[in-house]
Structure 1
Amino acid sequence: MGILIRYLPLLVLMSSMAITQVTQARESVLVVANSGESSLQLSKSELRNLFMGGAINGLSPVEFEPGSYLRKVFNTQVIGLPEARIQSFWAQMKFSGRSVPPSNVSNIEEMLTFLKEHKSSVGYLPEGTSIPKGLTVVYVSI
């Protein structure tokens, strides 16, 4: 009985983390681009490369601020890494001068405005968001 009480907080924490990951895995995100190409489609690996500092046809990624729920969903489903690993990666890239992280926005309205105003930008939105004319859905997470 003493062992159970001793490890109960750890078990509760691990259970809540697992529930959060399952919940995030069920939500879908739309990856949207202002590319001028209505037929543009990107794969999950291309998006991971783009959002982790790679270059794809002059596209520039934009994402939500660290800690944002939608960013966590996107990172889980598309990037495949936890926020801490991504932040560590960008810290190393900035320190070495090799690359800078994507631009950040605070909310859905800012994301839509940024995407509409910046040609070749790519960002993500929650499924069900009304996509304005001029933007193209290039990927839908499952």
Structure 2
Amino acid sequence: MKILLIIVGFISLSGSICFANNAITVVANTQDRGMLLSRHEVRNLFMGTRLGYNFIAITLPPENQTRVIFNTKVIGLTESRIQSYWAQMRFTGRKKIPREVASEQLMLEYLQNNKGAVGYLPASLTLPDDLTVIYTIL
């Protein structure tokens, strides 16, 4: 019985650790420190819809684990469906695909240096004071 409790405790703990590693923050370079967006607004922003803010969406490469988690939890589509969507939008000229940076470190640098830039980063990453967390994905 004691061993069973230890095993159950270990499984619960490892699930919590994995859960914490999947947490992502959506970060913006904005003057409005109190700004918070809903999941729907964040999804629309990264799918090319203007929200009335002067934001520019920045993404990570398709093979990046942070992007996979973001696409799953916020966008709600697989990478192939997202690529198909953007191919259609480019063809019709209706929306502009988000700019892509190669890594989380480059994302952080881009966000810091460009007013209005919005991107997603692992929640475990320490953010500079000049960036604002506008949405958190647990």
TM range (shorter): 0.7 to 0.9
Question: Which residue of the partner structure matches residue 35 of structure 2?
Answer: 40
Give the counterpart letter for 1:106 in structure 2: A
1:116 to 112, 119, 122: 112
Q: Which runs of 5+ in 1 are unaligned?
A: 1-22
Q: Which runs of 5+ in 2 are unaligned?
A: 1-17
How far 1:89 moved relative to its partner? 0.2
| Structure 1 contact 25–77 (Cα < 8 Å) conserved | no
Q: Distance in 1 between matches of 2:123 and 2:19?
A: 12
**After TM superposition, what 4+ stretches of structure 1 lie above 6 angstroms from structure 2?**
23-26
Q: Distance in 2 between matches of 1:107 and 1:65?
A: 8
Q: Distance in 1 between matches of 2:89 and 2:44?
A: 14
TM-score (norm 2): 0.82
CA 1:25–1:131: 2 relative to 1, 3 Å: closer
Give the counterpart letter for 1:36 in structure 2: Q
CA 1:127–1:25: 2 relative to 1, 3 Å: closer
Q: Deviations over 1:44-77 (max 9, x none)?
A: 0000000001012111100101221111010001
TM-score (norm 1): 0.80
Q: Secondary structure of 1:74's partner?
A: helix
The Cα RMSD (Å) is: 1.6
Question: Which residue of the partner structure matches residue 6 of structure 2?
Answer: none
| Structure 2 contact 29–117 (Cα < 8 Å) conserved | yes
Identical residues among aligned pairs (%): 43
| Structure 1 contact 25–76 (Cα < 8 Å) conserved | no
CA 1:76–1:62: 2 relative to 1, 3 Å: same
Question: Which residue of the partner structure matches residue 8 of structure 1?
Answer: none
Whether 1:51 and 2:46 are equivalent positions in the alignment is yes
Q: Secondary structure of 1:39's partner?
A: coil
Structure-to-structure mapping, 1:1-142, within 5 angstroms: 27-56=22-51, 57-142=53-138
How far 1:35 moved relative to its partner? 1.0
Give the counterpart letter for 1:68 in structure 2: N
Q: Distance in 2 between matches of 1:24 and 1:91?
A: 33
| Structure 2 contact 59–119 (Cα < 8 Å) conserved | yes
Q: Distance in 1 between matches of 2:99 and 2:80?
A: 18
